[in-house]
């Protein structure tokens, strides 16, 4: 049985290096600001969010019919549709497709699903070289790390980190940290694989039941190159990615890039309905726990996710600790509510890596009640006794104080005095994992209750008199 991932402890390494921490925080917050600006440009933004949520809820509540419709249409277009119950079955299907034609190189674009299935090591152990062609994903592959962010996998790395890594792996100039130069190194080194690989792979952002199409959004053109250059295109997709129609696709395309980076659209929004003459296209529909999640009354809404990462960019915990600290395929607020459905004990601590400020739910383009689900998972962990004793004790104390107004007032009134006199270890103790590495702001000279009783009560009395 896996030990629970201790996200707060994992974050210590990242936090110890202030350059990376402050840079990531600033970068992601800028992305959040760009998202806000982009949303303000669209008068119907809130209508689009409501529509997206309703379309997803409609599709997920009729999912079996839409999957069957997609299969029929895609098959009619010349696509071979496969079904994989779990990660192993998915990986085996991919391997068999490659092995039966003696292929030993796969060029692929970014897919969080293949990360979830740990497909790369599976294929590599069987002698197939896999080249990630998304810049961020390739950086992480070369550095032997999983993605740290679902949209920008290497966003936590500085230009210097990449310059050093590329010089080690590609022999480029370790002192040239120019972004365009580094992207050029990637282009030069990836192009030969695009031209020689006989198989390419993509994920999918959306799957359109009505037309049997898969839709992929990228900025680099690497998905179009991976799918179009070789004669074999394999597409892996989670069953929850189905949407009913091309008409409904428009709603999601208008929301996706704006929510992710603040751009109106990605450079390439590509639709693959079938193979060209003389080529083959295979779509693998993957369950891997999704059908079980669909049956969880409190948590099935997380299947609406379109992987924009807006919740991650806005989350103060994610921004200050980096994606790798979650020790999971999906990270940040959306990861917290998805990962326990894969392995409850391993991810039992993740729901506590949140301030429950609700910002994640407010920016979610498909209106997933993320912070409420995080709270729901805390309750599940409590019920299932999955919480560490120390965390449980802290919660017990908090619960007692918060449920007794008198105790709460005493506690807050004494805080400012306490902060002056309490030794450092008492404030930043193990009972408060998030106090570590964070300066507690100076306590207000008077509490709200003190202020209210001196000002408002007096003002009210004056009004009355």
Given candidates 5, 15, 39, 51, which one binds other proteins under the rule CB under 8 A? 51
**Binding flag, residue 358, other proteins (CB under 8 A):** no
Return the biggest CA–CA distance within the chain. 92
Are 282 and 212 in contact by the 8 Å Cβ rule? The answer is no
Among 146, 275, 327, 335, binds other proteins (CB under 8 A): 275
For other proteins, which residue of 74, 94, 182, 387 counts as binding (CB under 8 A)?
Answer: 182
Nearer to other proteins, 67 or 350 (CB): 67
Q: Which residues of 306-328 are buried (b: 16+ CB within 10 A; e: fewer)?
A: bbbbbbbbbbbbbbbbbbbbbbb
> Using the rule CB under 8 A, is 47 a contact of other proteins?
yes
Note whether 331 binds other proteins by CB under 8 A: no
Within positions 16 to 45, which residues make up the interface with other proteins, using CB under 8 A? Answer: 27, 30-31, 42-44
Between 270 and 447, name the residue whose CB sits nearer to other proteins.
270
Nearest-angstrom CA–CA distance, 313 and 258: 13
Q: How far apart are CA 306 and CA 320, in angstroms?
A: 23
Question: Is residue 55 close enough to count as binding other proteins by CB under 8 A?
Answer: yes
69 binds other proteins (CB under 8 A): no
To other proteins, the closest distance from the beta carbon of 273 in angstroms equals: 5
DSSP 279: -
In sequence order, the β-bridge partners of residue 283 are: 81, 235
Question: Rounded to whole angstroms, how far apart are CA atoms 186 and 221?
Answer: 13
Report the alpha-carbon distance of residue 44 to residue 377 in Å, rounded. 33
Strands 129-132 and 105-108: parallel
Determine if 416 is a binding residue for other proteins (CB under 8 A). Answer: no
Among residues 178 and 393, whose Cβ is nearest to other proteins?
178
Count of residues interacting with other proteins (CB under 8 A): 97
Residues 204-243 that bind other proteins (CB under 8 A): 210-211, 213, 219-222, 224-225, 228-229, 239
Rule CB under 8 A: choose which of 267, 355, 362, 417 binds other proteins.
Answer: 267
Give φ, ψ of 28 to 5 degrees: -70, -35
428 binds other proteins (CB under 8 A): no
Residue closer to other proteins (CB basis): 4 or 230: 230
Neighbours of 254 (CB within 10 A): 19
Q: Which of 64, 101, 355, 362 binds other proteins (CB under 8 A)?
A: 64
226 Cβ contact list (under 8 Å, min separation 6): 107, 108, 109, 133, 194, 200, 201, 202, 233
Judged by beta carbon, residue 182 or residue 339, the one nearer other proteins is 182
Determine the angle formed by the axes of helices 135-142 and 159-170, rounding to 10 degrees: 70
250 near other proteins, judged by CB under 8 A: yes
Decide: is 4 part of the binding site for other proteins (CB under 8 A): no
Number of Cβ within 10 Å of residue 188's Cβ equals 11
Map residue 149 onto helix, strand or coil. Answer: coil
Does 272 contact other proteins by CB under 8 A? yes
Residue 302 engages other proteins in binding (rule: CB under 8 A)? no
Please identify, among the stretches 182-190, 328-336, 352-360, 434-442, the one whose residues bind other proteins according to the rule CB under 8 A: 182-190
Binding to other proteins, residues 96-135 (CB under 8 A): 133-135
C-alpha 342/C-alpha 359 separation (Å) is: 25
Task: Return the bridge partners of 233, or none.
Answer: 200, 281
Least CB distance to other proteins at residue 130 (A): 16
**Options 167-175, 191-199, 347-355, 415-423: segment touching other proteins (CB under 8 A):** 191-199
Stretch that binds other proteins, among 13-21, 251-259, 345-353, 375-383 (CB under 8 A): 251-259
Which residue among 5, 87, 155, 199 contacts other proteins (CB under 8 A)?
155
Helix %, strand %, coil % of the chain (to 5): 55, 10, 35
Output the six-digit token pair for 332: 């940040």
Contact range with other proteins by CB under 8 A, out of 84-92, 316-324, 331-339, 380-388: 84-92
């Amino acid at each position: 049985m896996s030990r629970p991932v201790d996200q707060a402890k994992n974050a210590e390494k990242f936090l110890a290096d202030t350059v990376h921490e402050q840079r990531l925080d600033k970068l992601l917050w800028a992305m959040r600001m760009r998202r806000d600006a982009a949303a303000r440009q669209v008068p119907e933004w809130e209508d689009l969010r409501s529509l997206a949520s309703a379309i997803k809820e409609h599709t997920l509540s009729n999912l079996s019919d839409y999957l069957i419709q997609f299969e029929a249409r895609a098959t009619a277009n010349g696509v071979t549709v496969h079904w994989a119950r779990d990660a192993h079955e998915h990986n085996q299907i991919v391997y068999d497709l490659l092995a039966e034609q003696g292929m030993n190189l796969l060029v692929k674009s970014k897919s969080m699903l293949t990360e979830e299935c740990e497909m790369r090591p599976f294929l590599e152990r069987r002698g197939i070289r896999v080249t990630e062609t998304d810049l961020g994903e390739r950086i992480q592959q070369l550095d032997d790390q999983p993605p740290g962010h679902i949209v920008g996998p290497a966003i936590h790395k500085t230009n210097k980190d990449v310059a050093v890594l590329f010089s080690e792996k590609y022999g480029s100039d370790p002192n040239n940290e120019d972004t365009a130069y580094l992207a050029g190194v990637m282009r030069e080194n990836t192009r030969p694989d695009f031209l020689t690989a006989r198989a390419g792979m993509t994920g999918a952002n959306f799957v359109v039941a009505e037309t049997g199409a898969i839709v992929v959004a990228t900025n680099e053109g690497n998905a179009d190159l991976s799918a179009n250059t070789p004669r074999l295109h394999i597409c892996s997709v989670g069953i929850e990615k189905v949407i009913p129609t091309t008409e409904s696709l428009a709603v999601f395309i208008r929301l996706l890039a704006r929510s992710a980076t603040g751009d109106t659209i990605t450079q390439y929004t590509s639709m693959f309905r079938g193979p060209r003459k003389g080529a083959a296209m295979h779509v693998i529909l993957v369950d891997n726990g999704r059908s079980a999640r669909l049956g969880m009354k409190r948590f099935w809404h997380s299947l609406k996710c379109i992987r924009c990462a807006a919740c991650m960019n806005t989350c103060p915990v994610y921004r200050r600790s980096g994606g790798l600290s979650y020790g999971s395929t999906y990270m940040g607020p959306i990861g917290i509510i998805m990962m326990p459905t894969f392995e409850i004990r391993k991810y039992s601590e993740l729901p506590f890596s949140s301030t429950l400020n609700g910002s994640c739910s407010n920016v979610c383009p498909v209106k997933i009640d993320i912070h409420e689900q995080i709270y729901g998972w805390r309750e599940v962990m409590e019920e299932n006794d999955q919480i560490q004793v120390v965390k449980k004790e802290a919660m017990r104390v908090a619960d007692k104080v918060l449920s007794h107004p008198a105790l709460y007032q005493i506690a807050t009134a004494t805080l400012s005095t306490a902060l002056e006199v309490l030794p450092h270890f008492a404030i930043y103790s193990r009972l408060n994992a998030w106090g570590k590495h964070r300066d507690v702001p100076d306590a207000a000279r008077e509490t709200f209750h003190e202020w209210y009783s001196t000002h408002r009560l007096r003002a009210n009395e004056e009004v009355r008199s």
